[in-house]
Amino acid sequence: MLCVYKCCQVASHLHRRNFSTIYRLLYFKNPFPDKQNAIKCESEKYKSVFHHAPHMQIHCFSGVNSINKCSKPEDTAIHNVDYLDANDKVIYDILAKDMLVQKDFLTEEEEQSLLNEAERYLSRLRYQNGHWDNAIHEYRETEKTSWNENNTKVIHRVQKLAFGAGVVPLPHVHVLDISKDGYIRPHVDAVRFCGDTIAGMCLLSSCVMRLALEKDSSKYGDVFLPRRCLYIMKHRARYEFTHEVLKAEDSVFRNQIVPRDRRISIICRCEPDPANSQ
């Protein structure tokens, strides 16, 4: 099996490829324990390939990838994904692969900058109780095609991470503001409006997102979305599962209450498959 220290030798030649290509190379376990220190030092050199905030550490799971702070080497098994809990092993494995969460994607300064720009539009709007598809309650929203220079860099960072080469991001970035008492009902986003990957940044508050198998809602997984994280929902998680944001009174993850407050999501999507746009 290809080991990490071998992958690191070629990582620098892959810096122009998409994120998924690079992290697939990095998830293989090291068969030589005495090389651990060397691998750690070597891996440090390639953090810049991913263009993340400098305080992040790269940790890869066997078969699934996440970027966490302070994860330990023993936390590399697929069933140790710390942001995911599920009541079914098959569901767990699907979501571990296709629902990714990067903690602390945003710095406090980046969060504030995005918030300041979004607030100029949101402050003019009132919270609404009924969405056009009845999916969202106590919300207000807008779309933006242009951002200030610093925020544009953040948006581009999201798009680079979430979408592969040749995938065209939609020009409209969705800004969704949900009040403390608001919530999102289970739904599947229409495939004719956007492609198979959705990427969202969470501002102001943490929450719990539940993804339930559309054909059998008794099988589901709960995903903890901490404040300032980035989540990427793709492929089977995108098409075969409904997703919802739990109400404040139901906001529990692994038997721990997750306090809810007003929360803003800044969501990037990609162009739909032409076959689905009819």
Which residue did the predictor score with more confidence, 61 or 165? 165
pLDDT band (50, 70, 90) for residue 277: low
pLDDT at 118 over 80: yes
Output Rg (C-alpha) for the chain, integer angstroms.
19
Enter the tokens of residue 175.
């800004």
* Distant-in-sequence contacts of 210-213, Cβ < 8 A, 24+ apart: 210/186, 210/243, 210/244, 210/246, 211/95, 211/99, 211/237, 211/241, 211/242, 211/243, 212/186, 212/241, 212/242, 212/244, 213/91, 213/240, 213/241
pLDDT at 10 over 80: no
Which residue did the predictor score with more confidence, 223 or 27? 223
* Cα torsion angle, 248, 162, 149, 146, sign: negative
Enter the tokens of residue 55.
């305080």
Enter the tokens of residue 152.
């544009």
pTM of the model: 0.71
- pLDDT of 127-162, one tens digit each? 988 665 678 889 999 999 999 999 999 999 999 999
**Distance in angstroms (rounded) separating the CA atoms of residues 239 and 131:** 21
Is residue 278 a contact partner of residue 192, using CB atoms and an 8 Å limit?
A: yes
**Distance in angstroms (rounded) separating the CA atoms of residues 185 and 59:** 32
Query: Closest Cα to residue 74, out of 24, 35, 36, 47?
Result: 36
| Region class of 51: left (phi > 0), else alpha (psi between -120 and 50), else beta | left
pLDDT at 200 over 80: yes
Residue with tokens 């402050």: 123
**Can you list the domains of the chain with their CATH numbers?**
4-82 (no CATH), 102-276 (2.60.120.590)
- pLDDT of 78-107, one tens digit each? 446 899 999 999 999 999 999 999 999 999
Q: What pLDDT shows up at residue 194?
A: 81
Q: What pLDDT shows up at residue 275?
A: 65
**Distance in angstroms (rounded) separating the CA atoms of residues 143 and 235:** 24
